[in-house]
Structure 1
């Protein structure tokens, strides 16, 4: 095969010439930030597209997570998953909150609600769950637990742009949901993020927190941060929305090709969805078990020699990093399913401009690696 390098993802970008008029408008009105006209237009457009009532745009998803926790005044202990990108738990540490890790479900790799309930203590104030790979958590079970124990629920929905579950947008679950618009995501604004807010009051508080705590020209009512999305990023987002359905359709075709070609390969398990009605095909994870000819890491190395660069999302577990491994909840004996998934997972390349010929080649490499 050609040794053209294929990475696990590639940013989806609109035609450059179509972005120029947006830049010209920014140059004309001289508004670069502070919730300018493109920022306001993008908030409205995203509410309409995603089926949510209120959205607060942010400079990135991590600052949005940090702010979401602050806006809900979360303290003490928060139950979360070790199977995610580190920003999930880092947002807790930045707020002086103790993460409590619990194990995941074997089929979805999302946080296990039964393990959540068993980990609740008098210090528990919230649940921080992740819709891993864009597949919805068991939102009804999590909300029932939260209602029983009077806990807040925050969803790290960085992977879940446009995803719909049994009752509409998955982003409407919990007290707050947080999106990422990073370059690697299904919908990107170069860098960016957002918090989905259930009502105008919570949005107003979050808008204050992302603007240094300002409640007017001279009033500062909270220790906020500078988390505002720039006009450049908002303008790109408006243009990206025109192409998002096409991008997701291309991702779906890639997903279907992988599933068709890898279904009969012994030792390779394609992760299934978790019952979502509308998917976004953000990632394509496979699990490499002991019946496959090579170990997961050996397959990873083999593909790289052929110019294919998959990623081991998520390995190692968050609980194995130095700032977390001393926590009692990081004990490997408490997290057997998460550890097993981390040792087997390999995310294959998927992005709109990835040709199906390359997908077929990747599948042949996996199927015929002997």
Structure 2
């Protein structure tokens, strides 16, 4: 049996570069509490991502929770059923209630018309996702938020470095939240960040992520411990030096897959969503009724041959028991999300995926089409 190929693999920079930073951490003895590497990474990310202010966190989920708290969100939050559960979990953790609405049938991002139709006097916020790093309809969603005077937060866990028609997609809404988990294009082992628009909000978020401390003896908010350690921050600084090359390699794999499946009935590659610069975070295909196997049969067929794609996102969030009781969890009212959940398969993509392994993934799917 050949080596297993998994859906992703963390990008790891040269170990010697990381060791040099560890030596400095050992010299200073500063391990956390927003030390010099933490501050340097915040400045470097603002420049790289072309955003005004960024606050680092220990993970993306805590960052999502803090973003909602910082905006004073209490009530119902319109969000997507087609995402990782951290999106809706963050809503619950703030004491609010997620309201699921359907997604666009092509992009699988929130449908602005569905958002508008769901707004009531209980709506406290909109929480949208840039699914697979493909930008949501930011102009329409931002306009809905402005019209109804409700904040818009983007779960941008997939969207590191993505640029849309007007620059960084991270500048839209009131805040954008990033994940730097090991599975993401840019990782700090574990980590995350909030992008915000003003220095005042950045200062407030920094207090919230540090127990609500304002100086040594004052606590002004019921904060949380959301700080990113110096070790994680140092790793992120090294990652930034190599991230453009990693994204370029991902782009080459994306192009190879698209060419390979362009003539294969029943395999549809998701189009982009008009982004000017992509990060190729995922490679989702739709396994439609024209393919001789179902999506799940192809999934298990590939796993049996040592290739491990993922069914992102299956099941839908509303199908989990902690959400199934909600009125908005009716799957019949979410047909586009439901179909996506049944058809989408994310193929392996990462910068160190060898060309021979890419060819192996392609051959396995094409062979399945001929032999099923």
Residue 210 (str. 1) matches residue 209 (str. 2) = yes
Q: How far apart are residue 252 of structure 1 and its match?
A: 0.2
Structure 2 Cα separation of the partners of residues 134 and 173 of structure 1: 14
State the shift of 1:235 in Å.
0.2
For the residues of structure 2 that align with 1:141 and 1:362, how far apart are their CA atoms? 37
1:163-194 CA deviation, whole Å, 9 max, x = no partner? Answer: 00000000000000000000000000000000
Match of 1:40 in 2: 39
Q: Which residue of 2 aligns with 1:301?
A: 300
Structure 2 SS opposite 1:155: strand
Shift of 1:360: 1.2
Distance 1:110 1:92 in 2: 18
Equivalent in the alignment of 2:151? 152
Deviations 1:337-368 (A, max 9, x none): 10000000100000000012111111111112
- Counterpart in 1 of 2:347? 348
TM-score of the pair, normalised by structure 2: 0.99
TM superposition shift of 1:116: 0.2
Deviations 1:1-51 (A, max 9, x none): x52101000000001111111000000011000000000100000000000
RMSD: 0.6
Partner residue of 1:60?
Answer: 59
1:278 aligns with 2:277: yes
CA deviation string 1:111-133 (max 9, x = no partner): 00000000001100110000000
Please list the CA deviations of residues 255-305 of structure 1 after superposition, one character each: whole Å capped at 9, or x if unmatched: 000000011110000001000000000000000011101000000011011
Structure 1 residues not aligned, in runs of 5+:
none
Q: Does 1:219 align with 2:211?
A: no
Residue 168 of structure 1 pairs with residue 167 of structure 2: yes
Give, in whole Å, the separation in 2 of the partners of 1:198 and 1:272: 30
Q: Distance in 1 between matches of 2:145 and 2:64?
A: 19
Question: What residue number does 1:250 align with?
Answer: 249
Partner of 2:85: 86
Normalising by structure 1, report the TM-score. Answer: 0.99
User: Number of residue pairs matched?
Assistant: 369
Residues 9-28 of structure 1: pairs in structure 2 closer than 5 A: 9-28=8-27
Q: What SS does structure 1 have at the residue aligned with 2:98?
A: strand
Distance apart, 1:242 and its partner CA: 0.3
